[in-house]
Amino acid sequence: MRWAAQRDDAEPAVVQALQLAGWTVERVSAPGFPDLLCCRRGQVVLLEVKSKGGRMKPAQVELHARLRAAGVVVAIVTTPEEALAAVRGEVTRTALDVPAEKRVRSPRAQVTPAVRRGRAGGAVG
């Protein structure tokens, strides 16, 4: 099955503002990876475009943290103004500032109250 990225309504305006400011902007569609790869004069900034109140997926939070730990600038933006501030180095929001969706657990991974109390049938290994 092919993964399709959901694009935020603000993304076209964000891309246009960045391009007008001289940035090369590539849209990225990979699970967990920020939406936009922005490059100019040897500088690389990754931007996640979210709607106001938008939530991060757990894979996004994890990858954003790894990228930031590697020294990559990663910011979350909702408007063209925030995007321009982020590429100027004025990162105001990161994955730590945006609520994340709860990870969905598979039915096999869920622990029932009986298992927690040690009353489940069968061997526990």
What's 11-101's CATH class?
Answer: alpha beta
Q: Where are the domains of the chain?
A: 11-101
How far apart are alpha carbons 94 and 61 in whole angstroms? 9
pLDDT value at position 32? 87
Beta carbons of 64 and 52 less than 8 angstroms apart: no
Beta carbons of 92 and 85 less than 8 angstroms apart: yes
Q: Residue 26, Cβ neighbours under 10 Å: how many?
A: 10
How far apart are alpha carbons 29 and 4 in whole angstroms? 7
pLDDT value at position 101? 56
How far apart are alpha carbons 34 and 76 in whole angstroms? 9
How far apart are alpha carbons 55 and 52 in whole angstroms? 9
Taking residues 38-52, report their average pLDDT: 94
Instruction: Check the CA dihedral 67-100-97-21 and report its sign.
Output: positive
pLDDT value at position 31? 85
Query: By C-alpha distance, which of 30, 33, 35, 28 is closest to 11?
Result: 35
pLDDT value at position 5? 57
pLDDT in tens, 55-114: 888 889 899 999 999 999 999 999 999 999 999 998 776 666 665 555 555 444 444 555
Tokens of 88: 């100027």
> Quick one: DSSP state of residue 66?
H
pLDDT in tens, 3-33: 455 777 889 999 999 999 999 999 998 888 9
- 18 phi and psi, to 5 degrees? -65, -40
pLDDT value at position 1? 39
